[in-house]
Every structure is written in structure tokens, then in C-alpha cells.
Amino acid sequence: MSGFVEKPEPIQVPGLVHLHTGKVRELYQNEAGDLVMVASDRISAFDWVLPTEIPDKGRILTQLSLWWFDQLADLVPNHVLGTELPAGAPADWAGRALVCKSLQMVPVECVARGYLTGSGLVEYKETRTVCGLALPEGLVDGSELPAPIFTPATKAEVGEHDENVSYEEVARQVGADTAAQLRQATLAVYSRGRDIARDRGIILADTKFEFGLENNDTLVIADEVLTPDSSRFWPADQWQPGRAQPSYDKQFVRDWLTSPESGWDRASEQPPPPLPERVVEATRAKYVEAYERLTGTTWS
């Protein structure tokens, strides 16, 4: 079992049709047919959307994505149309609602990895490959790869794991042309992000993008980009291959949930418990720190 510990009731706004409740975002359609994407303060871990929210997380991730879209604009078009609140929307949507192009989403999680960890490390240990790509011997948890690699995954339903797939499988599913474009765009955006983050003392270990098609042909980058929810960010000054790296994300949450203090057994059918205040605060501080270091501005 997994999914939502408590499934949220979406807010109804006149003039907007609610389309979908994602793990973190609520999707609506406005009268012009555009998408209104509202990031909540929800947080997920171990395939569960937790019963506790992280204050400001929705605004931080939205503002960070907007900043990145600007940094990437010359590489790939993005889905943002505007940041103006739809008429009648609750005031607390400010800063976390985006009006976006409603795209035909490509059903592939486009992952780029510049460092070895996570599911990549698990596969590497078994077969010395990641998504079927051969890698040199002797790599350990946190090693930098000789060059960034495209390691796509199929998008899972809420509560299911995404599954790594080969490039050939992606090409079978979406066509050779789109697959080639996805790989090219994913690696180009990753490389730009990695270089910018590196200048600010952050290692972009890996990240996930989602793309959509506009008018059936133009590839557009959608969803969120280069946030702590979609990426592994490591403080560069603490990077030490051969162990798990400290990171700017849900680490406090994962550590607490798997500690005896939480009383939660990950393997059980039981939903995870609420987070204690200090875990919430420490997690919020990590998101703020990632935002401030990357953008070079103060969070307010």
C-alpha cells in the first residue's frame, strides 16, 4: 500500500475546471483552455504523500522553477505562459500558481545523471550498466560519471515506483525522432544546470525532466525543473564518493521516517506518521537554502 495518507480535497474556483490531483500539484484548466498548475506544500517520500506539509515549499519550488526556466530559455522552450493569479483564485495561490501551455505530455521521465547513486547505483552493482548503458569499472556511490547519461524511466501511478527503461524502449514507445530529441534536450539542460549549480557550490547529481509536445511537433519542457523535488543536489564541499552524500532535499524526512523514533515500518502496509515540528523546520530550511544558493537571492 502507498499513495496519499490523506487525499486532499481540491479547491474549487469559478472559471477553472479541476483536472487532476498529483502528488504535489493540483491541475486546473482555465476558460482559455490553458493549464493552471498549483504547487502545494505537500511532500512525498517512499512513494507516500505524507500527512504533514512543509510551509512555503510550493512557493519555493515554483519560484525556483521559474528562475531556471529563464536560465534555460535559449536551450528549449518551456510551458510557462504567466504568473498572474486567475480571477477568483485564493490569495494564498500567489507565488505557487502558474498558467502554462496545456501540452500533450510525453509519457517518459527524462532523467539525466552525472553522478552514480540511487537506482543507477543498484543497477550498476548488478550489471555494471545503468539503463543498459555500459559504465567503467570501479565506480562507487557518488562517483562522477565520465560524461552525463540519459537514463529514462516510465512514469508510474501514485504509489508505484518509476521503472528505468532502455533508450531503445523509449524509441519504441514514442518514436525514434522524439526519443532522440528527448535525449538531446535532457542532456543539454542537465549540463547547463550542472554548470550553473557548480558555480554556486552545488553538485547536480541527477535530475528528472518532463516534456510535452505542442501542436504535435514542438518539444517543450514542462512540469517543474531543477528543484530539490526533481533533482539530487549535493553540497560540493562535502562530496566524498564511497558513501551516501548529504543532500538538499527530503533527507531529514527519509532519515526520520526510517529511524526507530518514527515507529514506522517501511515494509508494512501502514501509512507513515505525521512529521515532528523539528523535521518540518529542518526540511523547510533545506529548501530555502537550495533556493538562495542557486539563485543568489534571499528567500522572502
41 lines the binding site for ligand ATP (CB under 6 A): no
Of residues 123 and 223, the one with the C-beta less far from ligand ATP: 223
Candidate residues 38, 61, 97, 100; the one interacting with ligand ATP per rule CB under 6 A:
100
Element (H, E) at 179: helix 176-199
Q: Which residue has the cell 547529481?
A: 205
**Alpha-carbon gap, residue 180 to 184, rounded angstroms:** 6
Q: Which amino acid is at 210?
A: E
Strands (E), 50-123: 80-82, 97-100, 104-105, 108-115
User: Min. distance of Cβ 266 from ligand ATP in angstroms?
Assistant: 19
| Segment contacting ligand ATP by CB under 6 A, of 18-26, 128-136, 176-184, 234-242 | 18-26
103 lines the binding site for ligand ATP (CB under 6 A): yes
Q: Any residues with CB less than 8 A from the CB of 23 and at least 6 apart, and which?
A: 42, 44, 49, 158
User: Min. distance of Cβ 155 from ligand ATP in angstroms?
Assistant: 6
Of residues 48 and 124, the one with the C-beta less far from ligand ATP: 48
Please give the span between the terminal C-alpha atoms of the chain, in angstroms, as a whole number.
38
Strands (E), 175-295: 202-214, 218-222, 231-235
| Segment contacting ligand ATP by CB under 6 A, of 24-32, 112-120, 167-175, 259-267 | 24-32
Of residues 107 and 246, the one with the C-beta less far from ligand ATP: 107
106 lines the binding site for ligand ATP (CB under 6 A): no
User: Min. distance of Cβ 35 from ligand ATP in angstroms?
Assistant: 5
Q: Is 161 helix (H, G, I), strand (E, B) or coil?
A: coil
The answer to whether the CB of 288 falls within 8 A of the CB of 60 is yes
The answer to whether the CB of 121 falls within 8 A of the CB of 242 is no
User: Min. distance of Cβ 251 from ligand ATP in angstroms?
Assistant: 19
| Segment contacting ligand ATP by CB under 6 A, of 100-108, 123-131, 174-182, 234-242 | 100-108
102 lines the binding site for ligand ATP (CB under 6 A): yes
35 lines the binding site for ligand ATP (CB under 6 A): yes
Of residues 123 and 210, the one with the C-beta less far from ligand ATP: 210
81 lines the binding site for ligand ATP (CB under 6 A): no
Strands (E), the chain: 3-4, 17-21, 25-29, 35-39, 44-45, 48-49, 80-82, 97-100, 104-105, 108-115, 129-130, 133-134, 144-150, 153-154, 163-164, 202-214, 218-222, 231-235
Site string for ligand ATP, 195-234 (x = CB under 6 A): ---------------x-x---------xx-----------
| Segment contacting ligand ATP by CB under 6 A, of 22-30, 61-69, 233-241, 284-292 | 22-30
The answer to whether the CB of 262 falls within 8 A of the CB of 288 is no
Residue ranges binding ligand ATP (CB under 6 A): 20, 22-25, 27, 35, 37, 79, 100-103, 105, 158, 210, 212, 222-223
